[in-house]
């Protein structure tokens, strides 16, 4: 039989649970998306924005000093692109923002975002995508508030895009 130390005999144990509401995170409600109207056998869809390299590089230059204590004069193009992606993720909260490639359409032609491709389809469109039509990606799409901040930063509406490469 063990005996408690005298200092332990004055200790009390409270085993009543703390209020759950004070510590529970609010339920995360993903953004609503328009239903895609295109049939794409063997190709995923991306929901996002068509952008140019120049747009992303300019965005990085514009907000560089908000994130760094040194200038961007020596940053090359790839560094600016990656920095812009990082900045957009941090400023908007859209953590799963990715770069993807889509097939051109009338929107990309009007905006001048079509670039030279390398596959069967000769032209492609660089995209900043918030999710794809694949289940895992779709379930991780941002909240409406996060998406609204991203849309305001990009300055144009998002849409569904057909993936540049087929899944097989």
- Each as own residue / partner, the long-range contacts of residues 113-120 (CB below 8 Å, 24 or more positions apart, any chain) are 113/50, 113/51, 113/52, 115/52, 117/164, 119/164, 119/165
Pair of tokens at residue 70: 């040194």
Q: Which residue is listed with tokens 């895992």?
A: 136
C-alpha to C-alpha distance for 64 and 87, rounded to whole angstroms: 9
Supply the DSSP symbol for 163.
B
If one counts every other C-beta atom within 10 angstroms of the C-beta of residue 163, the result is 21
Q: What is the pLDDT of residue 114?
A: 82
Contacts of 167 (CB under 8 A, 6+ apart): 42, 43, 44
Q: What is the pLDDT of residue 88?
A: 97
Q: What is the pLDDT of residue 108?
A: 85
Contacts of 7 (CB under 8 A, 6+ apart): none
Contacts of 159 (CB under 8 A, 6+ apart): 47, 48, 107
Q: What is the pLDDT of residue 166?
A: 77
Q: What is the pLDDT of residues 85-110, one digit of tens each?
A: 999 999 999 999 999 999 988 888 88
pTM of the complete model: 0.78
Supply the DSSP symbol for 123.
E
Question: Does residue 21 surpass a pLDDT of 60?
Answer: no
- Helix, strand, or coil here: 71? coil
Contacts of 9 (CB under 8 A, 6+ apart): none
Residue percentage of the chain with pLDDT more than 70: 80
C-alpha to C-alpha distance for 165 and 147, rounded to whole angstroms: 25
Question: Does residue 111 surpass a pLDDT of 70?
Answer: yes
φ/ψ of 49, rounded to 5, equals -120, 140
Parse the chain into domains and list their residue ranges: 44-162
Minimum mean pLDDT range among 8-17, 47-56, 123-132, 135-144: 8-17
């Amino acid at each position: 039989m063990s005996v408690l130390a005298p200092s332990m005999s004055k200790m009390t144990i409270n085993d009543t649970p703390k209020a759950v509401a004070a510590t529970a995170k609010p339920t995360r409600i993903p953004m609503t998306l328009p239903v895609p109207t295109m049939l794409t056998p063997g190709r995923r869809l991306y929901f996002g924005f068509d952008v140019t390299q120049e747009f992303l590089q300019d965005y990085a230059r514009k907000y560089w000093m908000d994130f760094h204590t040194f200038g961007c004069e020596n940053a090359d193009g790839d560094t600016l692109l990656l920095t812009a992606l990082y900045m957009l993720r941090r400023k908007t909260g859209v953590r799963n923002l990715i770069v993807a490639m889509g097939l051109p359409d009338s929107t990309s032609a009007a905006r001048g975002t079509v670039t030279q491709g390398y596959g069967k389809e000769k032209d492609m469109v660089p995209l900043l995508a918030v999710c794809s039509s694949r289940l895992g990606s779709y379930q991780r799409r941002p909240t409406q508030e996060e998406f609204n901040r991203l849309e305001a930063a990009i300055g144009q509406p998002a849409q569904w895009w057909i993936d540049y490469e087929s899944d097989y």
